[in-house]
Amino acid sequence: MSEKPGFVASVSSADFWLRLLYILLFALAWQVCELLLLVVVIVQIGFRLFQGEANVRVAGLGNSLSQYAWQIGRYVSGASEQKPWPFMEWPAAEAEWQRKPGTPGDEAPKP
């Protein structure tokens, strides 16, 4: 059985091990984020039951957490080299999802 030429170089690379460490740490952060999003959902259900509408501040926290989870997913899957918070700013509560120009579904709706 022959090894691929890049295997030994990858395993002996400090970058490989550092990225693996980041992936494991961000996987832990993902789990914490999931639990916090569950708390946000339960709190929002309570607000809707007792006040008739969602709480704006809790919704903003949910938005930030979901975008943070999205950033983690992109980094650990290799879709992005940009490490999420604390290596970049925390996602804003009022931030919106944005497609990259030229991606499917980016064209204007047809009448």
One-letter amino acid for residue 70 of the chain: W
How far is residue 33's CA from residue 14's CA, in Å, rounded to a whole number? 28
- Please answer whether residues 66 and 37 qualify as being in contact, where contact means their C-beta atoms are separated by less than 8 angstroms: yes
How far is residue 54's CA from residue 50's CA, in Å, rounded to a whole number? 10
Give pTM, 2 decimals.
0.79
Nearest of 73, 88, 1 to residue 30 by alpha carbon: 73
Query: What tens digit of pLDDT does each residue of 10-62 get?
Result: 888 889 999 999 999 999 999 999 999 999 999 999 999 999 999 999 999 99
